[in-house]
Amino acid sequence: MQHSIMFKKNLLIIFSLVFVTVFSQQRTQPVKLAVKGDYTHESTSAIFPELWSGFQREAIYSYDLKNNHLAVGYVQQKTKKNKTTLTIYIYPKKEIDNQLLRNEQNTRHRSISRC
What is the full per-residue pLDDT of the chain (115 aa) written as tens digits? 566 666 666 656 665 655 555 555 566 788 999 999 999 999 889 999 999 999 999 999 998 888 888 999 999 988 888 899 999 999 777 666 777 778 777 777 776 666 5
pLDDT, residue 22, reads 52
In-domain check, residue 12: no
In-domain check, residue 2: no
pLDDT, residue 98, reads 75
62 burial via Cβ count (<10 Å: 0-12, 13-18, 19+): middle
pLDDT, residue 10, reads 62
How many domains are contained in the chain? 1
Instruction: Please tell me the pTM assigned to this model.
Output: 0.60
In-domain check, residue 4: no
Q: Which residue range is the domain that position 36 belongs to?
A: 28-113
pLDDT, residue 103, reads 79
In-domain check, residue 103: yes
Question: How crowded is the C-beta side of 69, counted as CA atoms within 13 Å?
Answer: 15
